Amino acid sequence: MLFRSVAATGGNVSWSNLDAYPAADRLIVDVSWHPDSRAVFTQVQNREQTWLDLVRVDAGTGRTTRVLRETTRAWVEPYGAPTWLADGTFLWVSARSGYKHLYRIRPDGTVVGAVTSGAWEWRTLYGVDERRGVVYFSAGIRRHVDTDVFRIRLDGSELTRLTATPGTHAARFNPSFTRFIDTWSDLSTPPQMSLHDTDTGARLNMIEANPVPALRTLRLGRAEFVEVRARDGVSLDGLLIRPPDFDPSRRYPVYQVTYAGPATAVVRNRWMGSELLFWQLLAQHGVMVWLLEDRKSTRLNSSHVALSRMPSS
């Protein structure tokens, strides 16, 4: 395969030969520029997705260098382009520990260290304040069904939660990382937006409370988050909605929600709109509603990924 790079303003075309990856067993899953525009970084996988190579392509000569490889007995999930820092290192998302986390890596593929770690799932990178050496991100540390906004230093120290209310939070930071807009909801509350201070997490102003008085008029069943332990000891998150007049001495029909995986978690403490209201309608008609995450959708990335440097090719 020939991979072409060319400056946005035109000019000579550089062709890179990726024939080291057989055409019948090759996926190009991501392509991105280095900030200095001197190189393109592409991610290549086999069709089984049991490995992923991050490949540097010199924009001038077309020369390719394999920076690192992720491997697993199951599959490697692509998590997007590297996030480059001013010192030449980059942030890279990997599930090598069994959980999705953020790593700091040198241009030659050497791992400087893990920025985040632990038995929890890293979810979204919001940005890096390099002046202060701080990364802002979201994760499900408090509970797997919740999503909070956090900051942590690039060396992995001083992990701080910036959001207080249980539920699902999503942030948008200003360019100087002094303020952020928090969009929050939970299972019974439609999304609200508020402005927060980045240092303390304190709310500075409510932007939109989004009251829905009609919800108070509905006869809603009790919704409860539960944990189910599988035969091998893995805990899976579940959600049970009981009829409003639930009687523990009775037997009820059960509506089980099924969905495609992986990475399609639905058992979350967030507002689910019309879908949740449909489940509540079933509960009002005497039906118990049951959701259970599969292994790849929730706490555990069941396939541990090995991350290694690769030589030049």
Q: What's the pLDDT at 29?
A: 95
Q: pLDDT digits over 62-75, tens only?
A: 889 999 999 988 88
Overall average pLDDT of the 136-145 stretch = 94
Average pLDDT, the chain: 89
Kindly report, residue by residue over 80-114, the tens digit of the pLDDT.
999 999 999 999 999 998 889 999 999 999 999 99
List the strands of the sheet with 122-129, edge to edge. Answer: 122-129, 134-139, 148-153, 160-161
Task: Return the closest-CA partner of residue 313 out of 5, 19, 3.
Answer: 19
- How far CA 43 is from CA of 21, 49, 69, 121, 155, in Å, comes to 12, 11, 10, 23, 26
By the 8 A CB rule, do 188 and 211 touch?
Answer: no
Cβ-Cβ contacts under 8 Å for 87 (sequence gap 6 or more)? none
Q: Is 211 exposed, middle or buried (0-12, 13-18, 19+ CB in 10 A)?
A: exposed
Q: Give the tens place of pLDDT for each residue, 237-293.
A: 999 999 999 999 999 999 998 876 666 788 999 999 999 999 999 999 999 999 998
pTM > 0.85: yes or no: yes
